[in-house]
Each structure stands twice: as C-alpha cells, then as structure tokens.
Amino acid sequence: MGVGKRLLVVAACILAAPAAPGAFAQDGGNVSSKSQSCLMCHKRATPNIVASWSRSRMAQVTPAEALKKPEPQRRISVDKAPEGMAESVVGCAECHTMKPDSHGDSFAHQGFEVHTVVSPQDCAACHPVEQQQFAQNIMHEAYGNLQDNAVYADLVKAANGPLSFAGRKLSQKAPDARTNADSCLFCHGTRLEVEEMASRDTDFGPMEFPVISGWPNQGVGRINPDGSKGSCSACHSRHQFAIEMARKPYTCGQCHKGPDVPAYKVYKVSKHSNIVDSLAQSGDWDFSAVPWTVGEDFTAPTCATCHVSKVASPDGRIRAERTHRMNDRLGWRIFGLIYAHAHPKSPDTAKIENKNGLPLPTALDGTPASEYLISGKEREERIGAMKAVCGSCHSGSWVDGHFERFAHTIETTNNQTRVATEIMQEAWKQGAASAADSLFNEALERRWVEQWLFYGNSVRFASAMMGADYGVFANGRWEESKNPHAMLEGLLQKLKAAEK
C-alpha cells in the first residue's frame, strides 16, 4: 500500500474514533510515531489490547530508563537498548514489526510489515537472558517432546483419536491437527504456519490478513512462524505483561491443574496457598517488586517464588536467582513417565532411550535411562538451591524432614506403579491385552495409564507441596491402591473367559 492509501486509512480512523474518554497517558508522549499510527486505529478496532498495553510497564518506561535501574532491580537483561529503541516506550510497532524478514507471518498492513505472532525471539531483543534460560527449559521443547515421541504420540492418539464401532470392535484413527490444538497442544503449543492470505471485513473496510494454521495458541512450546519456539505470553499475559500475574499461581494453574499434573490443585490445599489467599489481599504484599523480598513483599510463596523468581532477604542478600529454566531448583521429575526419575539433562526428551528401546526416561521395570538424566550430584545441588528458598521461613530440621519424606514417597509411589505394571505385563504375556498395536488403547491399558499418570503423580505432587488431600483420597494413595485391584480383577475375568 502506498503512502497515499495509508494516509487515507489513517484519516478514516481519525474520523471514526472520537477522543476516547479513557485515553491513556502515553498518547503522543514517548510512544514512537510508528506505534502511534497503530494506536490511531486500534484504539477503536481492539480497544482492550490498547488499554491493557497502556497499563503495562512497557508502555510507561523506555528501555533507556529501564537501563538506569541497578541490579538487582533491573528487569531488562541487555546492557544497551536495541538499536533505535532506547527512547520510546515499547509499543505495538516495536514488537509487531521487529525484524519483519525473519517472520513467516509478516504481511503488509497499512504501510507496515506487521507480524501477528510475537515470538520469544522478539522479546529477546530486551530480555535475552530470560529467553536463553527458557530455551533450556523443558517447556521450550513441549511440542516436539510430545509429537516427536512415538510413545507419547500414541497416548495422544488414545485420548484424542476419533472412535468407530463395528463388528463389536472399537477402532480409533489418529486425531487431526485441530483436535490436538484444542487439547494437548493447547498447553504444549501448536505449530503455526501461514496457509494463505484472506480478506476480512474490518471497521475500516476489507483488508488482507494471513490465515495461520494452529492459531490462536499460546502454548509454552509453540513452533513460531519465525522458527523460534515458545510463547512468553503463556505466562506473561498480553498485553499488560504484568510480572504480578506471572507470579500468582493462577498463571501456572492454566496448565498444571488436571489429574495428570495437579500442581495447582495441590498447592491450593497447602498452607502456603492458604496464607497467600488469606493475606495477600491485605494491601501490604507486593507482587511486582524486583527482586522479590521475602518478609517484605510477601510472607508465603507462590509457584514462582520457589521455581522461578529472584528472591531476596530483607537484608538484600539474594536467596535464589531468577531462572526461566524452571527445574533449576528441582532434583526429581515427579511427573512419572512412567516412574518418577531424576530430571533429564536435555530439555529435548524425545531422544531419550530406555533399556527397552523406548523413548522413555525409565524402563517398564523402573530402571532409569541414566545416561540421559542428571547425576545424583546435580540432583542434590538443585535440591539444595530449593532448600535455600525454604530456609526463608523454615528451620533446617523442618526442611530436611520434608525432603526426606518426599524422597521416600517417590520410592513408594514408584513401587505402586511397578505393581500395576507387573499386572499389565502379565496381561500382555497371557494375551489378555496386546502391546503390539499400542500400549494405551485397551480398557485395561487405560487403567494402567491412570496408575502412574494420575495417581502416582498426584501423590508425589501432594508430597512435594504438602497438599494432603491429594496424598490420600483426591486421586491419591487410595486410588493408587484401588486401581491395581481393579486391574487384577479385570485381568482375571478375561483369563477366566478365555479358559473356557
């Protein structure tokens, strides 16, 4: 579009959008002229995107100002602002027109080359350290870890595939991309690809926009049109990007709530959460301070406190460094696949191979695929880093007692998984189920999946975060003990029926 046509549309915007009562303070201030062009129409077209952004720190502080803050208060991790971006606040154009050539979804829009999908690579212009840490986070690989692992892909199929029934038999096809996008990949991230350009009616007449398959999505491991992975807005919700939001447990709860990974639910019955829920609204907690000072800004932890945030003591000492590789303070991976195990060395878990030749971190008998997993030494170091956070509020004997009990629970839950697996193996051996087609598609196999994916995990999360209900009756030890009995009963019936 030529400048002439562009001016025409901008003029239409001016005519269409009278001075809004809620006009935000940044109008015409430190907002770049490019972003002002965006705002002119988008205040009308998508008013809350503008409003949310105008409440953000990025709309209020220029990179140059941000760089004046000394460590450890600094929130930006470059030494100097990106070329040409120092003196304007970070607005629409700064992100959505950054490096247009690298973005497969860039398109001509009102005279600019705009891309819909802002990627971690864009955010890294000012926050490279965070992006690099996140690239080491297992979530960064969440797409491939699920889709490129034949075992997990088969589990996805068992959940999502369309069924059909004929001749007293059920069969299941592979799920299509939209179904996966609406389920597993909602959190894991979709693959975004521009399919075509299409015309769309807008407040300002028809315009051309890209149609992107897999869109919308904000999954942590999203494959972006610029080839990068992840989505910062998974946790730092657009367009306010409030650090207080990422620090509140609701953010983690978006993806860590189901029976497979009930971290949020477990947290909510913990004393930690009780204190947060009861006292954080009292007005003297600050969820935005950097660093985050225990005893001053808050008196009980959220998910971020223990796993991500830069936590300081009131005397200014840093108790824990900020990390976006979120298992830096985690020794064990308690999400059992199929047993709990030491964390994988690499975030890319699809390349792990256990002794059975399967891409799983543990074998069916529980043997860890040790060469792919962190050493006992590193495991203890990570637990030590976590204990430093615990120590803000708990004595050493408390903390050690907790971690010893937790380690014991990892052992005992792995035992219950082993027993269920032995029943399953007996079923496979006796022909009462078939492992040949899939490990997960039959009724008995599905019960077995729940043993480790629901019950083992629930008990371990409960132990890790002291959320007792999930350790007993809420998908906890009660189910963990009941399920093998139900599995065995099912197996015996099948064997008896086959006998005759």
Q: In the range 80-139, which residues lie near a second copy by CB under 8 A? A: 116
Q: Which range binds a second copy by CB under 8 A, 84-92, 358-366, 378-386, 407-415?
A: 407-415
User: 10 Å Cβ neighbour count for 474?
Assistant: 19
Site for a second copy in 217-276 (CB under 8 A): 218, 237, 240, 242, 244-245, 248, 250-251, 253-255, 257-260, 268-271, 273-275
Under 8 Å between Cβ of 464 and 406: yes
Asked if 163 interacts with a second copy (CB under 8 A), we say: yes
Site for a second copy in 466-485 (CB under 8 A): 466, 468-474, 476-478, 481-482, 484-485
Beta-carbon contacts of 321 under 8 Å, excluding residues fewer than 6 positions away, are 310
Question: Between residues 111 and 391, which has the closer beta carbon with respect to a second copy?
Answer: 391
Site for a second copy in 282-341 (CB under 8 A): 282, 284, 293-296, 299, 313-316
- Cα-only R_g, the chain: 26
Task: Tell me the C-alpha distance between 434 and 201, whole Å.
Answer: 54
Q: How far is the CB of 357 from a second copy (least distance, A)?
A: 24
Q: Which range binds a second copy by CB under 8 A, 1-9, 37-45, 66-74, 143-151?
A: 37-45
Q: How far is the CB of 109 from a second copy (least distance, A)?
A: 11
**DSSP3 helix / strand / coil % (the chain, rounded to 5):** 45, 10, 40
- Candidate list 8, 10, 12, 51; residue touching a second copy; CB under 8 A: 51
Q: Which range binds a second copy by CB under 8 A, 3-11, 64-72, 74-82, 409-417?
A: 409-417
Which contiguous run of DSSP H or E holds residue 198?
strand 193-202
Asked if 378 interacts with a second copy (CB under 8 A), we say: no
Task: Tell me the C-alpha distance between 186 and 255, whole Å.
Answer: 9
Residue whose tokens read 């620090």: 247
Strand partners, 114: 107
Strand partners, 205: 202
- Candidate list 172, 346, 370, 438; residue touching a second copy; CB under 8 A: 172
Query: What is the residue-wise DSSP string for 380-419?
Result: HHHHHHHHHHHTTTS-HHHHHHHHHHHHHHHHHHHHHHHH
Q: Which range binds a second copy by CB under 8 A, 136-144, 214-222, 355-363, 380-388?
A: 214-222
Q: How far is the CB of 297 from a second copy (least distance, A)?
A: 9
Please tell me the count of residues contacting a second copy according to CB under 8 A.
Answer: 142
Strand partners, 207: 200
Asked if 357 interacts with a second copy (CB under 8 A), we say: no
Handedness of CA 105, 101, 46, 10 (dihedral sign): negative
